[in-house]
Amino acid sequence: MRLITLSLAALLLLIQLPLWLGKGGWLRVWDLDNQVSEAHTKNDALKARNDKLDSEVRDLRDGTEAVEERARYELGMIKDGEIFIQIVEPNGKSAPLPPLPSAPAGD
């Protein structure tokens, strides 16, 4: 009787082993589920970045405000009739200010 009980317990363990440690076992499924969750998180972040870049491209393509803003702050350009003022710090470093619009010609 004892031999039958031990052999049945051994068979039960052998049947359970692939369920827990096999190729399609619970541990593998849990690991793959974690990988899928991480991939979804990464995809959401990339989608948000792509949406931001798409919005910026649309602004640059359709509107002139975005192009003007980039020209002013990245390239230091000014419009005709504007006055550019640059303040020099006592230590010799300059701190440029954005250009001021000039008064309209009718005044």
Does some domain include residue 52?
Answer: yes
The two most distant CA atoms of the chain are separated, in Å, by 113
Cβ atoms of 101 and 78 within 8 Å: the answer is: no
Judged by DSSP in three states, 94 sits in strand
Is 14 within the bounds of a domain?
A: no
- Domain contains 45: yes
pLDDT of residue 22: 73
The pLDDT of residue 92: 61
pLDDT value at position 107? 43
pLDDT digits (tens, 9 = 90+) for 52-99: 999 888 887 887 777 788 788 788 788 888 887 777 777 766 656 666
Q: Return the minimum-mean-pLDDT range out of 2-6, 7-11, 21-25.
A: 21-25
State the pLDDT at residue 100.
Answer: 59
In the chain, the number of structural domains is 1
Residue 57 domain boundaries: 36-76
| Closest to 85 in 3D by CA, of 101, 74, 96, 69 | 96
> What's residue 82's pLDDT?
82
Residue 77's alpha-carbon distances to 31, 49, 70, 83, 101, in angstroms, are 54, 28, 9, 11, 13
29-38 residue pLDDT tens: 888 999 999 9
Asked whether residue 92 is assigned to any structural domain, the reply reads no
